[in-house]
Amino acid sequence: MFLPSIKLVAYAVIALFFMLSALFIILVIHKIYANRSQASIEQLKRKIQPPIFQNLFGEAEDSLKYFKKKRLFDDAILELLKEMNNQFDLNLLNITQSKAFEKYIIPAIEKRLRARRWSKRMNTLYLIESLGPAASWINLWQVYHRKHISRQDQYIILRINAQVNERLGNIVWKALTTPHPKVRYGFSVVPRPITNWVIPRLLPKRLIDVFMANNLGLKYKTDKKSEKNL
């Protein structure tokens, strides 16, 4: 009875060794694939950064359509959106009024929200939450009622809708109940109004474009006439 038990232990150890080795190989392959994917995303981000900047903040030729067929286009454009939102408030720039937002960003967000992976959905929801009132353009209630959505996903969706509705609702109520309402309520809507509303309105628009381009690592070319206006 003693020898068979030793054999069983040896077989179990060998089986465990092979299982751990296989798991290690799978993790290494997954890490290599993830690193290559991230490198491809970074490379694609550098390519689409100038056209997305031009399409979101101005009327330019739609050159993003040449990159849309890329496999990692959605990941790249959402990462760029997150980086731009960290640099300056996108709500102030009214990106929701641009065709690029409706044509490229909203489909990318909706595709991410349909992902089975919990981490992808959560990162996308946090990005939507950081956009503020721009989140009202995305139909989150449709996502809320999907079968594979977790409780935490639903809580974040409720929080996003509550923040957007409460903020805009208070401003609308104030505008309707005030005897002499303001013509514009941008100061109340925009967070950090001094840096995101007052100062940009006082500075020349072309100078603001230069600052924004520098923050994004872009080279902003100006002609002699625009330099004189600065």
Residue 218, pLDDT > 90, answer no
pLDDT tens digits for 77-112? 888 888 877 776 666 556 666 677 778 888 888 888
Q: Cα–chain-centroid distance for residue 143?
A: 17
Q: Specify burial of residue 132 (Cβ count, 10 A radius: 0-12, 13-18, 19+).
A: buried
Q: Which pLDDT score, from 0 to 100, does residue 230 have?
A: 45
The residues near 158 (Cβ < 8 Å, ≥ 6 apart) are 144
Q: Which pLDDT score, from 0 to 100, does residue 228 have?
A: 47
Half-sphere exposure of 227 (CA within 13 A, CB side): 5
Per DSSP, the three-state class of 114 is coil
CA–CA distance, 131 with 56 (Å, rounded to integer)? 14
| Domain residue ranges of the chain, discontinuous segments joined by + | 1-117, 150-189, 192-230
- CA–CA distance from 2 to each of 5, 6, 7, 12 (Å)? 5, 7, 9, 16
pLDDT tens digits for 16-30? 999 999 999 999 999
- Of 172-181, 189-198, 217-226, where does the model show the most confidence? 172-181
Q: Which pLDDT score, from 0 to 100, does residue 101 have?
A: 75
